[in-house]
Structure 1
Amino acid sequence: MKLINKSILTAVITLSTASVYYAQQVQDTVNTKSKDIDEVILRGVTDIAKDRKTPVAASTIKAAQLVERLGNQELPEILNTTPSVYATKSGGGFGDGGLTIRGFESRNIAIMVNGMPVNDMEGGTVYFSNWTGLSDVTSTLQVQRGLGSSKLAIASVGGTVNFLTRSADMKKGGTIRLGVGNNDYLKTSFAYNTGKSEGGWSSSFLMSRQSGGTYIQNTDYEAYAYFFALGFEPNKKHNFQFTLTSAPQWHDQRTFAPTIQNYINYNPEYDGKSPYRKYNSDFGYYTDASGNRVALANRSNYYSKPVMMLNWDWTMDEKSKLSTVLYMSNGRGGGTGDLGKVGGKGMTDFYDTAGHFNYDAIFAANAAVNLNTAGAGSTLIRRSSINSHNWYGILANFQHKINDNWNFSVGTDDRYYYGYHYQVISDLYGAAGYKDNANKNLPPRIVSKTYDYKKLSWNPFGGKLAPSEDQIGYSNDGEVLWYSGFAQVEYSKNNLSAFLQGSVSNQAYQRIDNFVVDGSTLKGQTVNTKTGFKNLFGYNIKGGANYNINEHHNVFANLGYYSKQPFLNTVYPSNQQLINPYLTNEKISSAEVGYGFRSAKFTANVNVYRTQWKDRWLRKSGQTFTLADGSTTTGYSEINGITEIHQGVEFDGVYKPTNFLEIQGMFSWGDYYYKGNANVASFDDNNNPVTLAGSGGNELYLDKVKVGGSSNNSIPQMTASLGLTVKPVKDLNIFGTWRYVGKLYSTIDAGTFTNVSAQERGVLKLPDFNLFDVGFSYKIRLRDQAQYFTIGANVYNLFDTVYISDSATSVFADDKPKFLADGKTPNTNNQTYEQLGMMYKGLATGNRAYFGFGTTWAATLSFNF
């Protein structure tokens, strides 16, 4: 789809990762009067920021940099040299990486493909494993921190990440690429562009496959990507582009963050001190019929999310243009985990001496169960939680240039989404079946059909959903209707450019629980399978201005306010059919000022920002609670009334003293904290309310506590990087990057802030760390200069630094563990972690964490023709 054209791409900024050329800067400054408004118009629906024009903080990465430096890293990690961005591998499974911008997680960052939002419409989440193919087809990747320039009614609280894919009318040619790396990483791809014919037709095609494992134990994966674009430009007024892309994949995971003590205890080279960074507690071994020991994952993910887009750009006349995008996405897939108990034991009761599941014992215990007489959930199985959806939408944007200085645009963004959420059996673990009583419309029944997560769906129209008789555990659907309109006015004259934008939207949510009996009673209220739609109105307004003082200096400012509708699980909390009685929109206000400097050899940007987020609602899952009676249980917490402050300073710059040397630098400092207290309600995994030990009620004492993540991810408040690129001869690039992460705070654990003393201790601060990456690329040109080979290699974490990238808990040195270091002997003397010597780099070893990868590498060979 031709969502962008060449005139826009040449104006795209290149800030922290490449040079901004002086000739282009001068040209921007001396544009003729008739071109003033053309330079500031945010064309079509892509809304790409332009240097010294659009008043937002932005950084851009081009396709060549993705190909050269990404290797076998997670897709978001290419952004780690961008101010206020923190991307990690999280648990370490393929595509499981996490992303935060200015302290906000991906569910509150607008992730877009060609200007089309792709955040899940029920919860705002983005799973990058569904989008790994973007690394092959992206022509430009732009990060806009803060409000961003998108006109759509989306709450880009932390920022906007926009992937612009290749269009059908690219230059004729093709590429064959081979990549290899650590842990049997193998990637092959082929791409070809036909170029534009005399009749206006063009097409582009790409197909890739990669497989192997990651640095972590038992994280095998297989992933494909395909891309097809067909373009037709019958005349200068009309341009049509059709695009189809998807990245079907399956991968074994590590979703539970082990304790630091277990990383040490299960180190094959046990010395009582060193952690085994590759340790994965989510898999085990069984003995097959031939007597072989075979690995089996309890946690895996699989998904296929094809996206089809049809774009029509209609240039009505020299002043007016209409851009329309129709799109469709039918995602199919889910994730696995365990369900049920056998003999009263769950998965963690079957660990062997190496910290892995003893599947032989599980199989034997399951085989001994008589399902005819046993109760529901009396076998221990691997279930697959399905999260599929059908998504349809239309984006339309009309632009009109009033005169040389004024331009306005109006448009609409309308969507329909239906999500399917249920469980099926993935592996019976030796049992004859699983007895389920969750469906209250049916008597308890035995289900035995299994679904193999490694059988990928290639059907671009969505594939098959499991019939209701195979569904266990739960079965609920989410239906979302989204209607929105937006308008923007822009002004540009001489050195001044400005915009004012506003949007309104209505989001209607309906929850459908297929296991609920119509007319049943819940908490004194009558509930039905369908809740009916709950309509929520929201809006935003934002504006900004940029002033070019001269060809070297510019300043800008922006501010905005969002009234953001909450997500579906906020509307219907506790996974039930009742509407939240405290439902309210979240209020976000943000302001930013910036300065830019441009010269022939040096470019730099400095930004200062402040964002306030009020009435935030948060569900914190995967928690372990200590109850009032001293026992423990697992479950989740729902927190409402949160106010967060995110403020900070950012710098990025590029210095190019010669044509052979380029230096890139970045520094960001943030201060992210909670303002005031909040309210919390905690539940076990069966949705039953629980009372926590030491709880003084449902108040959560958060005032002045540093902001932590909401799952297993952590949030840094200081980052820096320094990169060096040397070009000693033509077509040879040698590069290295130093990166620093500091003021890194653990996930907020709702169960630890139920009293003032916990508030005073705050969130656990993790050790700072430094990482070094190096690489090179070299082109070998053939006699025909248009044909060439490229070889390249990258080494990540060159010095094999041991560091913690994410933590799920806040356990302190003066806390008292229940057991000693062996995990079995009770702490009868009631000693603290510090007294027991259960410490690692100043951290109590009872903390659950993810260690970053050690040294890894990737190499590529490609041929362009």
Structure 2
Amino acid sequence: MKKITFLFVVILMAVVGETYAQGVVTGTVFDTESNAPLPGANIIEVGTSNGTSSDFDGKFSIKVESSTGTINVSYVGFGSKDIAYDVTNGNQDLGTISLGLDNSLEEIIVVGSGIIDLAEDRKTPVAVSTIKAREIQEKTGNFDLPEVLKSTPSVQNIKGGGFGDGSMYLRGFDQTNTAFLLNGQPINGMEDGKMYWSNWSGVLDVANAIQVQRGLGSSKLAISSVGGTVNIVTKTIDSKEGGFVQQMIGNDDYTKSTAYYSTGVNEKGWSFSALFGHWQGDGYVNYTHGQGQTYFLSVGYQPNENHSLNFLITGAPQWHAAPGRGKISEFLENGRKYNSWNFNNSSSKNNISGDVYPGGRNIYHKPVSNLSWDWTIGDNSSLSTVLYGSLGRGAFASTRTDKKTKEITYARGSYNNHNWYGLISNFNSKLTENLEFNLGADVRSYNGIHFRGVTEFIGVNSVDTKNTLLGEYSLTNSYGGISPWDMVFKPNTEHNQRFGYDYEEIITYYGAFGQLEYSNEALSAFFQGSISNQDHQVTDSFNYDKETKSEKVSNIGYNVKGGVAYKVYEGHKVFANVGHYSRQPFHDDLFDNIRESVDLIKPAVDNQTITGLEAGYQFKGDIISVNLNAYHTTWANRTILDNNGESQETIAYESYQTQGVKQVHQGIELEIMTRPLQNLRLDGFISLGDWVYDGNAKQRTFDGNGSQKGGEEEIKIDGFKVGGASQVTAGIGSRYTIVPRLVVDANWNWYNDLYSQGSLSKNPLALPSYNTVDTGLSYKVLVGKEDKNSIQFRFNLNNVFDEVYLESVFGNTQVSSDPKENYKGVNTSNNGRFGYGRTWNVSLRYNF
């Protein structure tokens, strides 16, 4: 009996010992985005408090408490993974464990994905740069989207001087000739192609990725972008529950508070997410204070695996004071923060810091909403549809002064409202294993409403006025004040409360597009085509004795493009693309002066023609990746509207309309991404451009009232350089992990071959080159149960060495013989703007 008992105890101890046998599990954690080790990742044995972290090489070793079980591998900002292990027969090496960003496109459910044209979906390469959510979050600070893009090839950011007044150039083309898409929805102004970043100040708070496609790009929509396409992809349906709260402060009393929460997708397929924010600040330039809000609401529903729907509404109501454009000599005398619109004698009831209307205030609210539906029809086909709309309401307000008493009487608003609706639908079908087909439609309807009205009565209770339609009448109501919310909910809809001008524009757009793409292991090729029609009509309610409509103008446009790529051998690929566009003129190009009449321009403005050629080479390796692109773009039959830089209310003011302009932009772009050390990322780029006008053009001149002065004349512009952006740019960016979750980064940008803007008929000025250095520091502290949450600190210091530089110059006055009248080879009588000096921002963010 004792022997049996002893044998039973031995067996029991062996079993128990086997159950609680300790073994060692090892592995290496990698970042899928950079294909590099991920130091500081958390490794937890599920069901226990037993854990460890990966080292600088991404390696980890954990002594587990059970012979079989699961470990969880996670890192803040990345999707976690559960991996089973078994050390029954000894230690186990799990090999490489790759984690992807949980805010990257791979980890986000993107509704309307068939509409959003991202280059990853195209096997045939294009010249492209992608900025992911982490970099957007860290480097945006208190600037606009163009600031985030400046460290990509052939992009230049112009800050502009006021909140939301920034702009960007892409391969020498300004924003009106670059297509901006928000989740596949076109957002350039339909009248003139312009972008006002003050209306989109909140988009970076909800952006998952921003992709810059230079040149022909991959967009299938019937849009004829000349410089390229910028795709902004925002949050829609988050796959997981979570959110953040963040507080930021910066130079010149800037402060911004933001909160975001997402429920993730519940068992019934529903998801909800919301973001709210508020910002305010004094502005870097004197008297450019402003404030605004951001809101974002998203509701998603996935009834089954074949259908996914999402409703989204977002907006960024704001007001900000505008900077005046002064002579270079005035800036040299008063400093870089000088504002030529410095009026400080307003007694406005909305007075803020003693100066509510320092020459001009931008007030605007543009709610945007869309309803997206993704339908997986079968194994080889799908349909994506987006229905969208926006209501723009706002004005540029400035004070008016009594000519006799010199006292301010009221604030006049130049209102620019719109109602915009559209539908985009794209059908995708995989015809064979190697052949894929897309077909879609793009329809838009736009109503622009333009007039002047009283924004606020200051020294009077009414304003007397008259027009041809209504005769003499009094303005007794003010609309909106400085509130962008009131602009939407208390709009000026009465013609007898408007003055100066009062007209509406109707623009309708409908187009179809298609793409056929073939690909195998080594070769890929595509062909795209689109055709569209635009209708334009103006209705005037001011200058005639009855409401008068213009002729209806219709223009057919089209674009075709194709390309081929070949994988020479593993990691090496070459490609070439070609495209031709027939692009309809902008609405504002079609009419003489729609403030004065509804007459069409004669001779008529015809379509512009754009032909693009590009070729490239791509190499992707473990330590280094290289993109090399060459491009040649010819833009012919262009119409340019500009002026002499004087105030429109001065006698000297003139504006010009030039037809038949031809530009040739060509260049080379080299981009190199490296990881020389496991905790160091080092990237660089250089862009060499040559952008000139080719041939001469015809020009007409108008005075401040829009009346033509003289006849049409030929202007000689052949060989003139295209101004506005640096034709040669370069940059180096670095990111160094000091210890896990403590990172320092820096960027150096250099700008050369920059030329002035101004009268097209005069040779532009060569401007001095300049360079800037920006740096930042990030640190994350893991908190909460199993370190699932984090507190993130971020510090940005821009223009570290306080470089003094001319950001832009408007004028053509050549260098003076008197050295005192020049600044770095530029005559100081020209109008210009200096770039910002040293600026900073600090943020604290809690991720949960």
Shared fold (TM-score, shorter chain, > 0.5): yes
Q: Which residue is equivalent to 1:802?
A: 804
- Match for 1:666 among 666, 672, 685? 685
Which residue in the other structure is 1:442 paired with?
A: 470
Distance 1:94 1:220, change over 3 A: same
Q: Distance in 1 between matches of 2:191 and 2:426?
A: 25
CA contact (8 A) 1:677 1:701 kept: yes
Residue of structure 2 aligned with 1:790, choices 789, 792, 814: 792
3-state SS of the aligned residue for 1:283? Answer: coil
Query: For residues 677-730 of structure 1, what are the alpha-carbon distances to aligned partners after superposition, in whole Å with 9 as ceiling and x for unaligned?
Result: 111111111112235xxxx9621211100112xxxxx22101110111110211
Q: Quote the residue 1:610 is aligned against.
A: 632
Q: Please give the per-residue CA displacement for 1:261-287, whole angstroms capped at 9, x wherever unaligned.
A: 11233x2xxxxxxxx000001131127
CA contact (8 A) 1:480 1:510 kept: yes
Alpha-carbon spacing, 1:462–1:106, altered in 2? closer, same or farther (3 Å): farther
Task: Name which of 506, 515, 522 aligns with 1:488.
Answer: 515
Does 1:299 find its partner at 2:300? no
Inter-partner Cα distance in structure 1 for 2:587 and 2:166: 24
Instruction: Determine the structure 2 residue equivalent to 1:46.
Output: 116
Q: Following the alignment from structure 2 to structure 1, what is the Cα–Cα distance between the partners of residues 307 and 461?
A: 61
Render the CA deviation track for 1:320-345: whole Å, top value 9, x for unaligned. 111111111111112124668725xx
Counterpart in 1 of 2:101? none
> 1 CA distance for matches of 2:35 and 2:394?
37
Amino acid at match of 2:233: L
* Equivalent residue number for residue 557 of structure 2: 538
Aligned residue number for residue 457 of structure 1: 485
Instruction: Determine the structure 1 residue equivalent to 2:230.
Output: 161
- Of the candidates 394, 398, 406, which is equivalent to residue 362 of structure 1? 406
Q: Distance in 2 between matches of 1:844 and 1:304?
A: 40
1:413 aligns with 2:442: yes
CA distance in 2 between partners of 1:512 and 1:602 (Å): 58
SS at match of 2:237: coil
Alignment of 1:217-296 (within 5 A): 217-254=286-323, 256-265=324-333, 267=334, 276-286=335-345, 294-296=354-356
Q: Which amino acid aligns with 1:553?
A: H
Q: Pick from 738, 748, 752 the counterpart of residue 758 of structure 2.
A: 748
- Which structure is higher in strand share? 2
Q: Once the 2 structures are TM-superposed, how far is the Cα of residue 432 of structure 1 from its aligned partner? A: 5.6
How far is 1:445 from its partner? 3.1
Distance 1:511 1:228 in 2: 35
> Which of 633, 654, 679 is equivalent to 2:698?
679
User: Is this contact kept in 2: 1:224–1:248, CA < 8 A?
Assistant: yes
Q: Counterpart of 1:335?
A: 396
Tell me, what secondary structure is at the counterpart of 1:284? Answer: coil
Alpha carbons 2:248, 2:256 under 8 Å: kept: yes
* Matched position secondary structure for 1:837: helix
| CA distance, structure 2, for counterparts of residue 415 and residue 687 of structure 1 | 30
Q: 4+ residue stretches of structure 1 with deviation over 4 A?
A: 10-15, 287-293, 338-341
Q: CA–CA distance in 2 between the matches of 1:384 and 1:292?
A: 18
Q: Distance in 1 between matches of 2:635 and 2:35?
A: 30
How many Å separate the matches in 2 of 1:489 and 1:335? 46
CA distance in 2, matches of 1:689, 1:105: 27
Looking at structure 2, the residues matched to 212 and 860 of structure 1 have their Cα atoms a distance apart, in angstroms, of 15
Partner of 1:643: 662
Q: CA deviation at 1:563?
A: 0.3
| Residue in structure 2 matching 1:579, options 600, 617, 624 | 600
SS of 1:411's partner is strand
Corresponding residue for residue 821 of structure 2:
838
Is contact 1:304–1:333 with CA below 8 Å preserved after alignment? yes
Residues 11/660 of structure 1: CA separation in 2 closer, same or farther (3 Å cut): closer
The 5 A counterparts of 1:365-376 are: none
Worse-superposed segment, 617-626 or 544-553: 617-626
Q: Aligned AA for 1:548?
A: K
Corresponding residue number in structure 1 for 2:102: none
Contact (CA 8 Å) 2:757, 2:810: kept in 1 or not?
A: yes
Residues 618 and 660 of structure 1: CA distance in aligned 2, closer, same or farther (over 3 Å): same
507-516 vs 461-470, which deviates more?
A: 461-470
Matched, 1:736 2:743: no
> How many pairs align?
738
Deviations 1:381-414 (A, max 9, x none): 5421111111111111111111100011111000
Shift of 1:52: 8.3
2:616 and 2:489 map into 1 onto residues whose CA distance is 45
Aligned residues: CA RMSD: 2.6
**Deviation at 1:13?**
10
Residue matched to 1:619:
641
The residue matched to 1:494 in structure 2 has which SS? coil
Q: Distance in 1 between matches of 2:719 and 2:828?
A: 26
Query: Which shifted more, 291-300 or 415-424?
Result: 291-300
Q: Aligned equivalents of 1:148 and 1:532: distance in 2?
A: 35
Deviation at 1:632, TM superposition (A): 5.3
- After TM superposition, give the deviation of residue 428 of structure 1 in Å: 5.0
Q: Secondary structure at the match of 1:802?
A: coil
Q: Compute the displacement of 1:733 (Å).
A: 1.2
Tell me by how many angstroms 1:195 deviates. Answer: 0.9
CA displacement, residues 240-276 of structure 1 (integer Å, 9 cap, x when unaligned)? 111111111111111x3100111233x2xxxxxxxx0
Question: Match for residue 590 of structure 1?
Answer: 612
Q: Deviations over 1:141-182 (max 9, x none)?
A: 100000111111101100101110012233111101000010
The superposition leaves residues 275-324 of structure 1 with CA deviations (integer Å, 9 ceiling, x where unpaired) of x0000011311275999992242211111111111111111100111111
Provide the C-alpha distance between the structure 1 equivalents of 2:389 and 2:197, rounded to a whole number of angstroms: 18
Deviation for aligned residue 1:224: 0.7
Does the 8 A contact of 1:14 with 1:59 survive in 2?
no
1:669 shift after superposition: 1.0
**Which residue of 2 is the match for residue 503 of structure 1?**
530
Query: In the alignment, is the contact (CA less than 8 A) between 1:647 and 1:670 conserved in 2?
Result: yes
The structure-2 alpha-carbon separation of the partners of 1:293 and 1:83, relative to structure 1 and needing over 3 Å to count, comes to closer
Query: What is the letter of the counterpart of residue 166 of structure 2?
Result: G
Please state if 1:314 is matched with 2:314: no
The one-letter amino acid paired with 1:860 is S
Identity of aligned residues (%): 37
How many Å separate the matches in 2 of 1:324 and 1:621? 42
Q: Report the residue type matching 2:129 in the other structure.
A: S
Letter in 2 for 1:577: V
Q: Structure 1 residue aligned with 2:673, among 641, 654, 657?
A: 654
Tell me by how many angstroms 1:529 deviates.
1.2
Shift in Å, 1:431: 4.8
Single out whichever of 149-158 and 631-640 deviates more from structure 2.
631-640
Distance, in Å, in 1 between the alignment partners of 2:258 and 2:277 is 4
Identify if the C-alpha distance between structure 1 residues 79 and 853 changes in structure 2 by more than 3 Å, giving closer, same or farther: same
Give deviations 1:456-515, integer Å, cap 9, x for gaps.
2279x8763342111111111110111101111011111111110000000000011111
Aligned residue for 1:234, secondary structure, equals strand
> What secondary structure, in the 3-state scheme, does the structure 2 residue paired with 1:136 have?
helix
Larger radius of gyration: 2
Partner of residue 207, structure 1: 276
Equivalent pair of 1:405/1:493 in contact (CA under 8 Å): yes
3-state DSSP of counterpart to 1:716: coil
SS at structure 2 position matched to 1:122: coil
Higher RCO (CA < 8 A, seq sep 6+): 1
Q: CA deviation at 1:50?
A: 1.9
Match of 2:212 among 143, 146, 156: 143
Structure-to-structure mapping, 1:173-184, within 5 angstroms: 173-184=242-253
Provide the residue aligned with 1:560 in structure 2: 579
Structure 2 vs 1, CA of residues 668 and 707 (structure 1 numbering), >3 Å: closer, same or farther?
A: same
Is the contact made by 2:463 and 2:475 (CA closer than 8 Å) also made in structure 1? yes
**2: CA distance, partners of 1:462 / 1:112:** 27
Per the alignment, do residues 289 and 498 of structure 1 end up closer, same or farther by CA in structure 2, a change over 3 Å counting?
closer
